[in-house]
Amino acid sequence: MEIEEIYRNYHDKVYSYIRSRVNSAEDAEDICSNVFLKIQTRSEEYEKDKGAVSTWIYAITKNAVIDYYRVHRISEELPEEIVSDDELDRDLLQKETLQELSEALGHLSEEERDVIILHYYDNLSLRDIEKKTGMSYGQVKLRHNSALKEMKKFFLKKSASGRFSSYQ
């Protein structure tokens, strides 16, 4: 897909997404411009086997909003001891189709989605996510573990209903 076509197909969606998360229309326009600049300069980094173009654009857009808030807002700290050690195998995430993952991600909070996308799609460590988002390491671990638990419950519930062919 060419850059012009991507711009035509996704500009309004990207801008609407950003505008719904940023109070200033001017800031939303700046962020949107930066997103499409990144898309243009990083177009060769896009890997079809990792997901659809829309997923890639969504990840870039989410990261741009995270970067904006990291610069413009101080986040609260959570104590390190509020962290669960319960992990979900990466295999579970890799077995699901993109549609199933998209549906599961829709059941997470925005911060949980951010952590999952940054960790599994962008391959960032939890320490790198801490730096990128401005959350404390404890917050990142908490969001990561909470998201994995929610996704596991979602997939197990769907599996029990027989809706996912990968479990049958």
Average predicted confidence (pLDDT) for the chain: 76
Which residue range(s) make up the domain with 153?
77-168
- Closest Cα to residue 75, out of 83, 64, 66? 66
pTM check: above 0.85: no
CATH number of the CATH domain containing 19 = 1.10.1740.10
Last residue of a domain, one of 38, 58, 73: 73
> What share of the chain has pLDDT > 70, as a percent?
76
Shared-domain flag, residues 49 and 125: no
pLDDT digits (tens, 9 = 90+) for 132-167: 888 888 889 989 888 888 888 887 787 666 554 443
| Per-residue confidence band for 73, with pLDDT thresholds at 50, 70 and 90 | low
Which CATH number do you get for residue 110? 1.10.10.10
Contacts of 22 (CB under 8 A, 6+ apart): 28, 31, 65, 68
Domain stops at, among 55, 73, 91: 73
